[in-house]
Amino acid sequence: MRRSTLARHDELLSLVRAGVTRVDALAGALDVSESTVRRDLARLGHEGLLTRTYGGAVTESAFHEPALAERMHVHLAAKRTIGRFAAELVPDAGTIFLDAGSTTAQLAEQLHGRSGRGPLTVLTRGLETALALAGSPGLDVVTIGGSVTTKSHGLVGPLATTALERFMADVAFLGVDAVDPVDGVGEATALEAQVKEVASRRARRTVVLADATKLDRGAVPAWAPLPPGWTLVTDEQDEAVLRRYRRAGVDVVVAR
């Protein structure tokens, strides 16, 4: 690694420790692009020197999962774009699984007013998603049951996984705290990771919705493997980052 890069990493760590945690603020302080800052944060995260967060980083060692209400307003434009692109992968009729979370909520918005299409069953573990889609023409909304998580308001546990085992979905749309081309999807708890693993196993196709900040392992503790040939829908533009996924056999859809 070049000396200039090492020096920038040192300065970056100093800024984060001083409380400058947002990517845009770090880029301005260092006089570099935001994509350079994201790459630097990813490397420092892999080295365990900091923890990636939504839109920046902290030097805490433990993973912090923001509440759903907070996440709904973070990277909103990117999530809306991802939701629109993901909507193109929804079948005209059949059954889909729709995960809990702020990005999958943007896909749910696209499901209203599906005129001229066949009936669609939406399995979901998200309480907000179920309420938002209830009563929409052409949609049969089914919640999978289970215990409610405090952060994402998603349903988890034996009731959730047992219910999923009773269905076969055409597509499972998953939200994530982090995603990796080899290890799959990262979550705050093993229970949430388990539900996603079962959902992907019971689907003919698995689609992960993740904005650019999620394409880094960070300190996310629980992971769920994904079947070969899964699809990633993301707003990440850096080809060096996306190449890792394509080389692992992931079908990458860039939401521009």
pLDDT < 50 regions, the chain: 61-62
- Tally helices (H) and strands (E) across the chain: 10, 14
- Mean pLDDT of all residues belonging to the chain: 88
Domain hosting residue 23, numbered range: 3-58
Q: Are 124 and 100 in contact (CB under 8 A)?
A: yes
Q: Please tell me the predicted confidence (pLDDT) of residue 68.
A: 63
Can you say how many angstroms the Cα of residue 202 is from the centroid of all Cα atoms in its chain? 19
Q: Other CB atoms closer than 10 Å to residue 97's CB: what's the count?
A: 30
Q: Are 172 and 204 in contact (CB under 8 A)?
A: no
Please give the C-alpha separations between residue 102 and each of 121, 176, 200, 242, in angstroms, as whole numbers. 20, 10, 19, 22
Q: Are residues 117 and 237 in the same domain?
A: yes
Q: Please tell me the predicted confidence (pLDDT) of residue 61.
A: 44
Q: Are residues 139 and 241 in the same domain?
A: yes
Q: Are residues 83 and 7 in the same domain?
A: no
What total of structural domains would you count in the chain? 2
Please give the C-alpha separations between residue 135 and each of 112, 130, 140, 145, 248, in angstroms, as whole numbers. 10, 10, 8, 19, 40
Q: Please tell me the predicted confidence (pLDDT) of residue 196.
A: 96
Q: What CATH number did the domain enclosing 16 receive?
A: 1.10.10.10
| 69-82 pLDDT, tens digit each | 666 666 789 999 99
Q: Are 123 and 97 in contact (CB under 8 A)?
A: yes
For residue 63, is it within any domain?
no
Q: Please tell me the predicted confidence (pLDDT) of residue 222.
A: 85
Q: Please tell me the predicted confidence (pLDDT) of residue 62.
A: 46
Q: Are residues 15 and 74 in the same domain?
A: no
User: Could you give the CA distance from residue 47 to residue 49 in angstroms, rounded to a whole number?
Assistant: 6
Q: Are residues 7 and 73 in the same domain?
A: no
For residue 167, which of 121, 117, 224, 230 has the smallest C-alpha distance? 121
Q: Are residues 144 and 199 in the same domain?
A: yes
| 13-54 pLDDT, tens digit each | 888 776 677 888 888 889 999 999 999 988 887 776 777 776
Q: Please tell me the predicted confidence (pLDDT) of residue 219.
A: 67
For residue 75, is it within any domain?
yes
Domain closes at, from 29, 58, 87: 58
